[in-house]
Amino acid sequence: MPPVVPPFLIGLVVAPLAKRLLKPLVRGVVKTSVGIVMEVKKAAHEAGENIHDLAAEVAADVVAAQVTSGEGHRAAEHAAPVEEKAGATAPGDAEARAPKIRATAGAGKVN
């Protein structure tokens, strides 16, 4: 009958060997995963920029088409003044209702 070795003793011998073998493997997997994530993030950012550029080009083309066809002038002639659209009673009320940007918006933040 073979000698009976308790599992505890096997664990004491195998654990350091497994640590030496698995640590570089796990480190490589994590390093590769982080690299892949960074590449995907970069590609997504570039794709977003390309879509933004494309949308700006299309908007410019639409405006240019409206100007050349004369629709831009007709739309401006029929448009109500800004103050009437906002429902202002006095000429300066439309500007008073617009939110104002404060110069000290980020002054209290500490990095």
pTM score, whole prediction: 0.46
Which residue, 42, 38, 41, 18, is CA-closest to 30?
38
Q: Is the pLDDT of residue 80 over 60?
A: no
Vertex 103 angle, CA 83 and 48, to 5°:
80
**Mean pLDDT across the stretch 89-98?**
53
- Return the higher-pLDDT residue of 49 and 87: 49
The C-alpha torsion from 45 through 51 and 57 to 58, rounded to 10°, is -160
Separation of alpha carbons 82 and 95, rounded Å = 9
pLDDT of residue 5: 76
Tell me, what DSSP letter sits at residue 86?
H
CA separation for the pair 76, 108 (Å, rounded): 43
pLDDT score, position 3: 73
